[in-house]
């Protein structure tokens, strides 16, 4: 019996020793995941609504012919600046001069007939009907003269506004009719851009807010603008509101028709708690990150605020100075053992003017 107990005891000790050795080996063999970290730090972040638009001229006019005829000469070409009232083209006036001469003769004859009839009418020699007829003929002749004179004056096609000739539709020898397009004039000194903002975001915007615009033609350059007006109505089909921006004066690189990207700044936080964008993990509409304490990484849920191209604002769940994993999360589980590859990281402050993105 004693021998049996001794054997059982020895076996138990052997099993315990084996388990202890296995546990030590497992702890020894536990792989430490290499990670890179950054410090959560306070910094500046700005929130902006982002959209796209096509640049448009603030003022543009299509110049149409006011009288019919044949173009005798064009005086301007596309790209040339013009002033309001400047002559852009002239029509052949030979026919118009003949029409004016005929209208002049008809008017003079009608005036003479009326004067004779007026004199004899006062002496009751002609009837009221005859008098009224000559009076009507005089008024008709005078109107015909005015039209002929106007047609001759309008044989000169003039600019209605200051601007630049953006399109020429005619050339010498072309026949043109009343109302036909001759030129288009565009003012390039002031441009506008219209974006369409979802109604849920419109409360963030207000006139006079500053905006930044950039275009593909000048990808490294940013252009200033200002929110000019907000439409008072919501488009029922799209659920958006038209917002018009006024480009700052003097930005000659910009042209009407350019495709532009727009950011409208609507908020600014000087001491926001920021982490790199790569630190935040999103899963089922919830956000979390890994916080490193010692050589362990714990997964922690957080509430986020604004974000920009480099940073995300943490509203709740993290403190300044805590270390967050920015590289290596794919292999991490909660409370995993880690090796910090960069033990002395430094999170740069958010650059001045960084815009938090709000995309429709």
| Residues 104, 107, 108, 112, Cα dihedral to 10° | 170
**Which pair of tokens denotes residue 40?**
């959560």
Ranges of beta strands (E only) in 120-180 are 156-158, 163-168, 175-176
Numbers of helices and strands, H then E, in the chain:
3, 22
Helix (H, G, I), strand (E, B), or coil: what is residue 232? coil
**Which pair of tokens denotes residue 59?**
């003022």
What are 198's strand-pairing partners? 240
Orientation of helix 94-122 relative to helix 128-153, angle to 10°: 160
Q: What is the pLDDT along the chain (360 residues), one digit of tens a residue?
A: 445 445 444 445 445 554 555 555 445 556 889 999 999 999 999 888 899 999 999 899 999 999 999 999 999 999 999 999 999 999 998 888 888 899 999 999 888 888 877 777 776 776 788 777 888 888 998 999 998 898 888 899 999 999 999 999 999 999 999 999 999 999 988 899 999 999 998 999 999 999 999 999 998 999 999 999 999 999 999 999 999 999 987 788 899 999 999 999 888 899 999 999 999 998 878 999 999 998 999 999 999 999 988 999 999 999 999 999 999 988 889 999 999 988 754 545 545 445 555 544
What residues does each domain of the chain span? Answer: 31-47+270-358, 49-58+188-268, 60-91+156-186, 93-154
Q: Which CATH number fits domain 93-154: 2.60.34, 1.10.3720, 1.10.287, 3.40.630?
A: 1.10.287
Place of tokens 């004199």: 119
**Which pair of tokens denotes residue 315?**
């509203």
Lateral strand order in the sheet of 181-186 = 60-64, 181-186, 163-168, 81-82
Q: Are 169 and 181 in contact (CB under 8 A)?
A: yes
Fold annotation for 60-91+156-186: OB fold (Dihydrolipoamide Acetyltransferase, E2P) (2.40.50)
Cα–Cα dist 41/105, whole Å: 92
Could you tell me the end-to-end alpha-carbon distance of the chain, in angstroms, rounded to an integer? 84
What are 63's strand-pairing partners? 183
Cα–Cα dist 42/65, whole Å: 65
Cα–Cα dist 319/211, whole Å: 32
Fold annotation for 31-47+270-358: 2.40.420
Domains 60-91+156-186 and 93-154 share a fold: no
């Amino acid at each position: 019996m004693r021998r049996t107990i001794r054997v059982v005891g020895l076996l138990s000790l052997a099993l315990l020793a084996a388990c202890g050795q296995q546990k030590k080996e497992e702890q020894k063999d536990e792989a430490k995941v290499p990670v890179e970290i950054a410090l959560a730090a306070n910094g500046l972040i700005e929130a902006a609504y982002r959209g796209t638009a096509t640049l448009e001229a603030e003022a543009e006019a299509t110049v149409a012919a006011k009288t019919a005829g044949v173009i005798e000469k064009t005086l301007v070409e596309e790209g040339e600046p013009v002033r309001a009232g400047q002559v852009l083209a002239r029509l052949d006036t030979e026919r118009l001069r003949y029409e004016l001469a005929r209208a002049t003769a008809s008017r003079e004859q009608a005036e003479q007939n009326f004067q004779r009839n007026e004199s004899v009418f006062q002496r009751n020699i002609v009837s009221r009907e005859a008098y009224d007829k000559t009076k009507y003929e005089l008024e008709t002749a005078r109107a015909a003269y005015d039209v002929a004179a106007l047609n001759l004056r309008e044989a000169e096609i003039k600019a209605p506004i200051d601007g630049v000739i953006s399109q020429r539709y005619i050339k010498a020898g072309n026949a043109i009719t009343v109302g036909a397009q001759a030129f288009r004039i565009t003012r390039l000194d002031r441009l506008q851009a219209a974006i369409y903002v979802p109604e849920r975001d419109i409360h963030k915007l207000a006139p006079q807010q500053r905006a930044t615009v950039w275009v593909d033609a000048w990808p490294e350059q940013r252009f200033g603008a200002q929110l000019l007006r907000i439409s008072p109505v919501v488009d029922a089909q799209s659920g958006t509101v038209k917002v018009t921006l006024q480009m700052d004066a003097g930005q000659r690189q910009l042209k009407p028709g350019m495709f532009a990207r727009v950011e409208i700044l609507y908020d600014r936080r000087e001491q926001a708690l920021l982490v790199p964008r790569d630190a935040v993990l999103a899963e089922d509409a919830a956000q979390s990150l890994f916080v490193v304490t010692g050589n362990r990484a714990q997964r922690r849920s957080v509430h986020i605020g604004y974000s920009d191209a480099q940073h995300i604002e943490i509203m709740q769940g993290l403190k300044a100075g805590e270390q967050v994993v920015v590289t290596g999360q794919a292999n991490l589980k909660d409370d995993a053992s880690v090796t910090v590859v960069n033990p002395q990281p430094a999170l740069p402050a958010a650059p001045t003017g960084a815009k938090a993105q709000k995309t429709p």
